A = this chain, B = another copy of it.
Amino acid sequence: MTKSREVKVVDTTTEEKIKEAARAVFYKKGYAATRTRDIAEEAGINLALLNYYFRSKEKLFDMIMLETVTGFMHTMATILNNEKSTLEKKVELVASHYIDFISKEPNIPIFMLSEIRNNSDGLLKKLPIRQLIMQSLFFKQHQEAVAKRKITEPNPLHFLMNLLSLVVFPFIAQPLFQGISGLNETQFNKLIHERKKLIPIWIKAMMKAK
């Protein structure tokens, strides 16, 4: 292993450093509010290097945005299509995985959803998310459960919307809820993590309600 290789493994490439810095700043402040100079500073590099490696702020952003959304959807599709888990287990997996994931990157949901909303040319339309989820095993299992009268709500979109709402919204509205409740960050995190167990129970009860 040459020295240059070792640097790439142990430390990180300048290119990677910039990308990671950009990711951090974009996640926190969004596209419009981040300055290329913020990214340069965060990465500890000269401003010109950003354009040297990535041509423009917009190209760098598009790359990160694409990776973020793709990663999010890919994980979702993987869970929803898991052959070895029941519908109930999938609910547990979604809740558990995303609560842990978002806990590590709390700004991701509002970042993604804000930027998707702005994005007029439609990043979503370029990705094959539609069939990946609408034709997932999760949806088939839901359909079966409806047929067997295990679930009353026949629309699988309500099912998925409810699950994601309960998982994601508390993070998005965290500052609001902390302001209301007076809980500090540690206490709030504890509350959030309780939900890994609670959400599957709630979802189960909801979907049987009539």
Which A residues lie at the B interface, using CB under 8 A?
29-33, 107, 110, 113-114, 116-118, 124-125, 129-130, 133-134, 153, 155, 157-158, 160-162, 164-166, 168-170, 172-173, 175-177, 179-183, 191, 194-195, 198, 201-202, 204-206, 208-210
Contact = CB atoms under 8 A, between A and B. Distances in A.
Given A124-B179, A180-B134, A114 B170 contact: no
A33 B118 contact: yes
B172 A172 contact: yes
Contacts of A169: 161, 164-165, 168-169, 172
Contacts of A177: 157, 161
Contacts of A161: 169-170, 173, 177
Contacts of A155: 191
Given A164-B173, A173-B164, A180 B116 contact: no
- Most chain B CB within a 10 A radius of its CB, from A129, A130, A134, A205: A205
A133 B178 CA distance: 12
13 contacts: A29-B118, A32-B33, A113-B175, A117-B175, A124-B175, A129-B179, A153-B198, A155-B191, A157-B177, A157-B180, A158-B194, A165-B170, A166-B166
Nearest to A179: B124
Which 7 pairs from chain A and chain B are nearest by CB?
A: A205-B209, A32-B33, A124-B179, A165-B169, A32-B32, A202-B206, A165-B165
A81 B160 CA distance: 32
A158 B191 contact: yes
Contact of A205 (B114, B130, B170, B205): B205
A94 to B, nearest CB: 14
A79 B31 CA distance: 37
Nearest to A204: B209
A110 B114 contact: yes
Contact of A173 (B113, B181, B195): B113
